[in-house]
Amino acid sequence: MRPRAQHDYNLLNDPYSAFDLAPELASLACDPDEGQPICTPEQVINYAFKAADDPLTLKEAKELSDWPEWEKAIQTELNQLQQKGTWVLADPPDGRVPIKNKWVFVKKYDRQGNLDKYKARLVAKGYSQIPGIDYIDVFSPVVRLETIRALLALAAINDWEINQMDVKGAYLNGHLKEEIYMAQPDGYEDGSNKACHLIKTLYGLKQSGREWNTELNIQLSKHGYRRAQTDPCVYIRHTAEGLILITVWVDDMLLFATSIKTMQIAKRDIMGTFEVTDLGEPKKIVRIEITQDRKQKKITITQTKYIETILSKYGLQDASPVRTPLDPNIKLEPGNSEPEGRSNNYASLIGSLMYAAVATRPDIAFAVNRLASFTANPTMCHWTAAK
């Protein structure tokens, strides 16, 4: 029997305690067999608009015509896990039941909506982890959208260099403090009946985001970066050549530098520490499209693809635009009938609109906030106003 540490469970951060998943979104973010969450709330945004033809299981992927592409993606993931030393095969202690895992498949698209690559990720079913034994704290910050907008504005005004980097398998860089055993990758067992004794954090584990953030902070601190007091996901370094700022959203980094030379220093620092993909000038980050015109000192941020996806999801792709986001003549009142199951779909729509309002469309913020107050029991009047 593993000893249970004494902790104040009021301080344990459960990422699902206040995160209401709509049914159609839950089916993507949860294990279809057991209906339990397998990814963190910040990852759900990536699955919210998962392509309809993306397979949900390994069996389903094998039945598709593009299985060779998915198989290559799986092998790429397994090679990365092995390279990172994510686990060692071992016999689990008596009475220990290894946690399960599953494959998550997603097609990645570029800014124009063209297929970029096939992505397969091995995800641990972290919902079976025991609080106080398998994990303690799970909270992990991401850069505020207000910070990204402010730095982009400063970059436009001061003609800073801006580049984007993506850390490959970011969560695989974290170090586990707890003793956790996981079953061998689904569909790729070696027949030895041994379990994976996890050394590094893995996607799906509750503490993975926190441990990755801790490791990133340690490594950047070694290079002389310090966290901004107003945002823990902004790192600042002053050099003789100029200023460097780095923003972090899980594995996506925006690099700001006052000159080409300081940008080279920033890239050298990161590339010498983590395996990254240099994306050059930023085109898109967290579903926000970025267009820079250095001659006019102007940077434009939009969410065209994101908004088009929402419109398509709710059958509004042919809707006509209006001048105001909410008709001032409509009187919105609470519903009198019993709440219906569709309230979850209404909440999903409001949540999608809320992200657009927070990120790039403050003009719809009041309308979204007003409609959000009726989420518990929406009527057709509220649905019509939202659409």
Q: Do 202 and 308 fall within a single domain?
A: no
Q: Are residues 189 and 327 in the same domain?
A: no
Tokens of 250: 């899980």
Per-residue pLDDT of 197-229, as tens digits, reads 999 999 999 999 999 999 999 999 999 999 999
327 and 196, same structural domain? Answer: no
202 shares a domain with 90: yes
357-375 pLDDT, tens digit each: 999 999 999 999 999 998 8
Domain-terminating residue out of 154, 185, 206: 206
Among residues 181, 206, 231, the one where a domain terminates is 206
Supply 270's token pair.
């990161």
- In contact, 100 and 38? CB cutoff 8 Å: no
Same domain, 308 and 198: no
User: How far is it, in rounded angstroms, from Cα 13 to Cα 15?
Assistant: 6
Residue 325: helix, strand or coil by DSSP?
Answer: coil
- Residue 333 located in a structural domain: yes
**Residue 313 maps to a domain:** yes
Do 62 and 194 have their domain in common?
yes
Q: How many distinct structural domains can be found in the chain?
A: 2
**Is residue 185 a part of any domain in this protein?**
yes
pTM score? 0.77
Instruction: Say if residue 189 is in the same domain as residue 326.
Output: no
Residue 387 DSSP one-character state:
-
Q: Which distant-in-sequence residues (6+ apart) come within 8 Å of 336 by Cβ?
A: none
Residue 41's pLDDT is: 42
116, part of any domain = yes
Q: How far apart are CA 305 and CA 136, in angstroms?
A: 38
Residue 246 within any structural domain of the chain: no
pLDDT > 60? residue 166: yes
Same domain, 315 and 177: no
Let me know if residue 227 belongs to a domain.
no
CA distance 165 to 220: 15
Choose one of 158, 180, 206: the last residue of a domain: 206
- CA gap 329, 341 in Å, rounded: 28
Q: Are residues 71 and 198 in the same domain?
A: yes
Domain of residue 371 covers 304-386
Min mean pLDDT across 35-44, 108-117, 244-253, 376-385 is at: 35-44
